[in-house]
């Protein structure tokens, strides 16, 4: 039986490992480097005024037909069957309550008792445990929405979280928000879309892939060595 050269086997192993490292480096270079602006105005803007896209829960005492949840349309109006069109955008909840009450009085209701609960509708997509469209209380922040959506998945890249608002994309570092930075206090509005992207580069899955390649490379080198020894 002829014994293969140890130096030749070592060269095969080094070559296989070199291919593995090269493949890993290619994956790491595939990271998305596009950066967007930062949401700044949300930290200071008032959250008390209703906007198109908001929802409003209206409860009218002893009137189940008017009681329900209504959406403020693109014109800033509520369409309430049996009551008509009510202008809502630009009003705070108390002002809207007064408008609805006056409309009910004009229809002949005596001393109507109503409650108005505004809701904003925000979508969260990507690497969260429960992506969905959420109707939530006005003034909700990014970090609060992340909690409502079940928190991030292990693959979430919180540093590159994006907020899409009225056609503009803003980037927010939610990872620093978990340690108390101001980025977590960014206030969300109806029709905002929050996107938590997936990590790229050396994630746990990538490491497992690299280890798998390494194991395969060593197995191939061992097989070649065995075959050469048999010849």
CATH number for the domain including 88? Answer: 3.30.1950.10
Q: What is the number of structural domains in the chain?
A: 3
Which range is most confident: 142-151, 181-190, 203-212? Answer: 142-151
Residue 36 counted as domain residue: no
Provide the pLDDT for residue 216.
Answer: 78
- Written as six digits, the tokens of 113 are 């008792």
Same domain, 177 and 156: yes
Distance CA 17, CA 217 (A): 7
Same domain, 126 and 154: yes
Same domain, 108 and 60: yes
CATH number of domain containing 176:
3.10.560.10
3-state class (DSSP) for residue 102: helix
Q: Is 0.85 topped by the overall pTM?
A: no
Phi, psi for 4 (deg, rounded to 5): -70, 155
**Helix 6-29 vs helix 204-230: crossing angle, to nearest 10:** 160
Residue 142 belongs to domain spanning: 41-46+121-196
Residue 34 counted as domain residue: no
Provide the pLDDT for residue 170.
Answer: 93
């Amino acid at each position: 039986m002829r014994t293969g050269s140890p130096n030749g086997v070592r060269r095969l192993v080094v070559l296989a490992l070199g291919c593995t490292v090269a493949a890993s480096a290619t994956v790491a270079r595939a990271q998305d480097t596009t950066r967007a602006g930062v949401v700044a105005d949300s930290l200071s803007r008032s959250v008390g005024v209703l906007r198109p896209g908001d929802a409003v829960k209206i409860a009218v005492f002893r009137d189940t037909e008017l009681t329900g949840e209504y959406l403020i349309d693109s014109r800033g109006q509520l369409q309430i069957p049996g009551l008509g069109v009510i202008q809502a955008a630009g009003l705070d909840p108390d002002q809207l309550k007064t408008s609805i009450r006056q409309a009910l009085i004009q229809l002949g209701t005596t001393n109507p008792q109503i409650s108005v609960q505004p809701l904003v509708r925000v979508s969260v997509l990507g690497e969260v445990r429960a992506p969905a469209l959420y109707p939530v209380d006005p003034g909700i922040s990014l970090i609060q929405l992340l909690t409502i959506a079940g928190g991030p998945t292990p693959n979430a890249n919180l540093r590159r979280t994006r907020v899409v608002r009225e056609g503009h994309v803003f980037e927010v570092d939610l990872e620093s928000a978990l340690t108390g930075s101001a980025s977590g206090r960014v206030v969300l509005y109806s029709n905002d879309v929050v996107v938590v992207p997936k990590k790229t580069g050396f994630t746990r899955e990538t490491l497992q892939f690299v280890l798998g390649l390494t194991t395969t490379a060593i197995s191939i080198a061992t097989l070649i060595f065995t075959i050469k020894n048999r010849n």
